[in-house]
Chain A
Amino acid sequence: MATWQRIKIPVRKDLSKIQRKAVGLEIIQHIRKRTSEGRDKHGNPWKGKAGEYSKSYRNSLDFKIAKGGSSTVNLELSSEMMNSIEILSNKKGELTIGFDKNNSELNGKVEGNRLGTYGNSSPIRGKKRDFLGIERAKLKEIQDKYDFKSTDRQKVKERIDRINSILG
């Protein structure tokens, strides 16, 4: 049984609920984009075996359908996993992002990638692809975008409105 896949992210205590929501949505957007480029939670390209798909997977019909000739490891087959990340809780000083607790199949898939187990009882060495996280510098950059003190107030308001309306 897979565990519930989520991470807690400490955020500035002076951010309001709506600012934190915008920060959370932007973090999720960043995780999607970074993973689609084949990079892990630290922003580094996948290393070793994790940086390539197995031969059997590359030869599978699903791979042919979804990825054509592309070999970038971006954890996207149908793209369901990467587009199912959500804000799970939004508290003062802390955001939790991750996956729906009740979707055990999805949590299993995510756990398989993050630990490198892929359905096995123990991890396959070098196959771990942990994508759920945020680089410290990126977190600061994102929070600055939504900080009334460090950026033009009107611009911040507009960006909050836009991100909440489109992605929220």
Chain B
Amino acid sequence: MSVEKQIQEILERRVNRFVKAGQSKELLDKVGKEAVSQVVKRTRLGQGVRPPGGGAASKLLPLKDITKKYRSRYSNNLSPFTRDSRSNLTATGQLLDSITYRILNGTKSKIIQLFFKDNRTYELNGGRARVRNDKLAGHVQKQGRSFFYLAQFEIKKIRSIIFDALDKL
């Protein structure tokens, strides 16, 4: 289940009968921002979530020695949110920084879609970017570092934010 589906399930199964999610752009924005923030923060802390999502977060696979060496060689270009040997899907930082959300019209209700902006411009070695952010995300997930899902506690946090927001509506 994608992040988009996970959020849609919360909205359609739990929220829409109290307030059509589409009626409150403010609410959808809150949920979108929180989902992005959770995925980015948790991944940078070195935790992934196995598909289909909804389970516990778990440590991302450690980096291979050859990757550590490569990162160490270009450590001046590393994002301040990582270290040579830290496995947190952050090298230049562009991949996670590119995650954002948009609100789309679905058949039943509005949909919050998380996606990767195509703003990758350079690689860790300083050369021009050779791969788009969405392709890179797919690649790292195929390698066993899945992160683009919501963990159980993240779903709970989003539900809690929705409840508070509805209380104020």
Q: Roughly how many angstroms separate A64 CA and B18 CA in the complex, as a whole number?
A: 38
Contact A66:B41 (CB < 8 A) given known A80-B57, A83-B157: yes
Residues A162 and B18 in contact, CB atoms below 8 Å apart: yes
Q: Give residues in A with beta carbon < 8 Å to B.
A: 29, 32-33, 61-62, 64-66, 77-80, 83-84, 162-163, 165-167
Residues A61 and B162 in contact, CB atoms below 8 Å apart: no
- Minimal Cβ-Cβ distance residue in B for A65: B44
Residues A83 and B154 in contact, CB atoms below 8 Å apart: yes
Note all chain A residues with C-beta closer than 8 A to B156.
83-84, 167
Interface size on B, residues (CB 8 A): 28
Note all chain B residues with C-beta closer than 8 A to A32.
160
* Interface class of chain B by DSSP: helix
Residues A166 and B166 in contact, CB atoms below 8 Å apart: yes
Residues B45 and A77 in contact, CB atoms below 8 Å apart: yes
CB contact between B160 and one of A29, A61, A78, A165 (< 8 Å): that residue: A29
Q: Is B14 engaged at the interface, CB distance under 8 Å to the other chain? A: yes
B101-130 near A? 1/0 per residue, CB < 8 Å: 000000000000000000000000000000
Residues B166 and A79 in contact, CB atoms below 8 Å apart: no
Q: Roughly how many angstroms separate A163 CA and B15 CA in the complex, as a whole number?
A: 10
Note all chain B residues with C-beta closer than 8 A to A165.
14-15, 17-18
